[in-house]
Amino acid sequence: MSIKNHWNDIYSSVSTDKVGWYTPHLKTPLIWINDLNLVPGDPIIDIGGGASTFVDDMLVDGYKNITVLDLSKQALQLSQERLGSSSDLVTWLQGDITEIELPKQRYRLWHDRAVFHFLVDHKLRQKYKSALLEALQLDGYFLISTFTPDAPPQCSGLPVQHYTSQTLSELFGDEFDLRRHQYELHLTPSGVEQSYVYCLFQRIS
């Protein structure tokens, strides 16, 4: 089964509030983004946003230039249905972040919760980084969260790569400055503990 079909099957068979990564509100990213003092029109992209409520909260906070990218068409449709007419305010992209071509130097903020750690192949990680550097503005922000070394070895039936703030800094550090980081314990709807690290980087070159 292809990765795209894998995720479409998950979103077709499991309620969005029952998937392992579900949380009603991504409190840490929302607080950090608020502290950046972005203007409402700053272009923002949510990588792997799928059926997440992150876009809902960003709209409520007044941001007006949001793009949501996800591999799963089913996930995007669920978000569009949930938002109703407000979905017209969002740009929806269906595609693979390691393959899709994004506008050059467009985005002021790149947000990724739990996508990057699925890229267990080194070549895919390099393609992700290339896409990030292609699409993010100089001085723009890169907010990422991944599983830490003490998190489970898999998520949703797929293997994941584990990171710390240090290893993420080593991977992205030549072009980015680590502004803040935080470790958090996420409790899945089924009661499984998953440890995440959140990192906020600013692009410096």
Would you tell me how many other CB atoms lie within 10 Å of the CB of residue 120? 11
In angstroms, the CA 111 to CA 69 distance is 10
In angstroms, the CA 151 to CA 14 distance is 22
H or E stretch covering 56: helix 54-60
What is the DSSP-derived secondary structure letter of residue 21? Answer: T
pLDDT bucket at 75, cuts 50 / 70 / 90: very high
Show the CA angle centred on residue 71, arms to residues 162 and 57, nearest 5°: 80
pLDDT tens-digit series, residues 50-70: 899 999 999 999 999 999 999
Q: Which CATH number is 115-205's, of 3.30.300.180, 3.50.30.60, 2.10.70.10, 3.40.50.150?
A: 3.40.50.150
Q: Where are the domains of the chain?
A: 1-11+46-95, 115-205
Q: What is the model's pLDDT at position 173?
A: 86
**Confidence check: pLDDT of 20 > 80:** no
CB 171 within 8 A of CB 112: no
